[in-house]
Structure 1
Amino acid sequence: MSVTIKDIAKAANVSYATVSRALSDHPEVSGKTKTKIKQLAKDMGYTPNALAKGLVTKNTHTLGLIIPDITNPFFTEVAQGIEDCANRNGYQVFLCNSNWNLNKEKEYLKALYGKRVDGIVIGPVSNEVSYLINERNGYVPIVFAAYKPLCEGCSFVVTDDYKSAVIATEYVIKLGHKKIAFIGGQEDNTTNQDRLKGYHDTLEKYGIPILPYYVRYGQFKQQSGYTLTKDLLIKNDVPTAILAGNDIIALGVIQAVEEFGLHVPSDISVVGFDDISFASLDKIQLTTIHQPKYKIGELCVEIILDQLQDIKSDPIQRIVEPQLMIRKTCKGV
């Protein structure tokens, strides 16, 4: 059983209030008494109850983090940036994985409010984010990570997804490709929508027809990339290049292409998004769009800390730049 203030008070033969004040360096407690009680607390292995302390100070020095897919290395790197920045500033992080499930996301949000976290970073599962603002428990800053919400007055940190798709599409066009497919994630996800628009606009710019059957939506998962690509190759004119909605989808795309009896990049070039850790492995060498994942996490925490200092501050929005990482999954035609 953990040691409490009551245990220390009994051992020191003083009141509960005296122990509480001594541990909080209250000026009404003498230096001698403070020293005695603090030493006794240390010897007894006393650990302060952060939640109870937070009820008094209105600050628990904890942050909540809700991510949609803990198995995706992209979110792992974002989470690492969040945790490291939070720790440097005296905060701890509660990590929640919604697994692309909106109901789980809502339950985790309620749980984090119950823990009285000082702020929340979230990678939402869909565009249905208005409830996040409407259900706030008092003023709790919320920052969207790697996602640009449609609601006004929201803080977020995101890579320029439109520009990312323009860069990727233009790259394969300049390699000579004109039959370019897009295998994306959820259709109602703003990240997917911005990348799709970049893809469309770039094809139009270069006078390349936009073929509806070359555009597929699913989930930001490997199996989705595999299934959608298999269906595309079986039922339609085979493209010479495929843009995958993220690097995880790209893995499924490559698997489907190889199983179909074709090869990457000699038959079909593949470009991913995110530049997660496995993308640069020797046996994969995926050409992809790099996002500064760790930096995104750090910026999210910095925004929360700024807003905790000034609760009346305007929303803070950061857009970071993408970078094309050229490796070995693309080839000219």
Structure 2
Amino acid sequence: MVTIKDIARAANVSYSTVSKALNDSPLVKPETKTTILNKAKQLGYTPNFAAKHLVTKRTNTVGLVWPEINRVALTELARHVNKMMADEGKNILLSISDPTEAIALFSRMRSDAILLFEEDIPQNQLPAQLDMPLLSYGVPGINQFPTVGVQHEYAMELAVSTLVESGYSSIGYVGMVDGIGRRQLAKQTGYLDALKKRGLKPILIDTKGLNSIDGFTALSALLAKSPLPESLICSSYDIAVGTVRAIRQAGLTIPEDVALVSYDNIPQQAEADVPLTAVGVPVEKLAKSLVQELLRLIAGEEGLVRELVPELVVRASSHISKQ
């Protein structure tokens, strides 16, 4: 394995100069730093995070506890977080293991912090005391750990109110009904509260899962036995993709036969075959909030609980007047 001493011999400089250059110290002349970095690359040097941790107490790594690998919106969020953290000199390490196992792994690896995409296991079922900061992307309320979330109930209120104001009185909800995951339950609650407030009958279409095939299966089953409501609110982009496929396969058109609003606010919604009206926090804004809070925690600052306000973006999948 190539060491700092090997680079020092190749570049004909001292060990300490190489160490400073690799840590981007301003004490090293730019031309010397360039030479050292080039030699390190030529020799195939990779930093020893464990050794670096002994000196700096930092590994410049953040562990991401991931619930499922095939969810487009979460993938897009993770991609933005990864890029923003890389710009800060931090590396994202991803685990799709059970959350408790993943957290234990990142603890052994001495990661600087953990980002938990909270879903199957609420944060109060995790160890109360960790030897590193943990930030949850979840639903504020438990607050065992600092949390960044979205006002999911307001997102559903915004979707329902906009549909009603545009003349829709029959509004269905396509998502995992009474399932696990506090984010999903918050969306369902928001939908039910919004309809109750307006005296409308709820129409819950249970996907029993969170992937596009689950949306497709649920809508196909509904279409086989009853007509669709005038409009549908899908609980995620993935669910919306499956819903669109089922509707079109049945020979119906969007929004003429049924209007669609999709939770999430990611670029893929604008690029869909039927551009989707979306409600949620823009993914760049959400990622920026997560990264800012992670950096604060790594710096030793006190953690916060934040709820971001969703926005509604009107596209071709609904006959909604732009406000």
Partners of 1:8 and 1:200 in 2: how far apart?
64
**Contact residue 79 and residue 294 of structure 1 kept, 8 A:** no
Computed over aligned residues only, the root mean square deviation of the Cα atoms, in angstroms, reads: 3.3
Q: Return the offset for 1:189.
A: 1.7
Relative to the length of structure 1, the TM-score reads: 0.79
1:106-185 to 2 correspondences below 5 Å: 106-134=100-128, 136=130, 138=131, 140-145=132-137, 147-148=138-139, 150-185=141-176
2:198, 2:51 → 1: CA distance? 62
- For residue 200 of structure 1, the aligned residue among 148, 167, 192 is 192
The answer on whether the counterparts of 2:128 and 2:144 sit within 8 Å (CA) in structure 1 is no
- Which of 285, 303, 306 is 2:275 aligned to? 285
Corresponding residue for residue 309 of structure 2: 321
* C-alpha deviation, 1:10, in angstroms: 9.1
Structure 2 CA distance for aligned equivalents of residues 144 and 40 of structure 1 = 39
Distance of 2:84 and 2:295 partners within structure 1: 10
1:60 maps to a residue whose letter is T
Q: 1:326 to 1:113 in 2, by over 3 A?
A: same
**Structure 2 equivalent of residue 15 of structure 1:** none
How many residue pairs get aligned? The number is: 307
Whether the aligned pair in 1 keeps the contact of 2:254 and 2:274 (CA below 8 Å) is no
1:280 and 1:39 mapped to 2: Cα distance? 46
Question: 1:329 and 1:74 mapped to 2: Cα distance?
Answer: 18
In structure 1, the gaps of 5 or more residues are 13-17, 26-30
Alpha-carbon deviation of 1:91? 1.6
Query: Normalising by structure 2, what TM-score?
Result: 0.81
Tell me by how many angstroms 1:265 deviates: 1.5
Contact 2:7-2:18 at 8 Å conserved across structures = no
Gaps of 5+ in 2: 21-26
Give the percent of matched residue pairs that are identical in Structure 1 and Structure 2.
25
* 1:75 aligned partner: 74
Partner residue in 1 for 2:212:
222
- 1:221-260 → structure 2 map (5 Å cutoff): 221-236=211-226, 238-260=228-250
Q: CA offsets, 1:217-252, max 9 Å, x none? A: 422210111111122233445312111111110111
AA aligned to 1:329 is S
Q: Secondary structure at the match of 2:293?
A: helix
Q: Which has the larger radius of gyration?
A: 1
Alpha-carbon distance in 1 for matches of 2:266, 2:10: 55
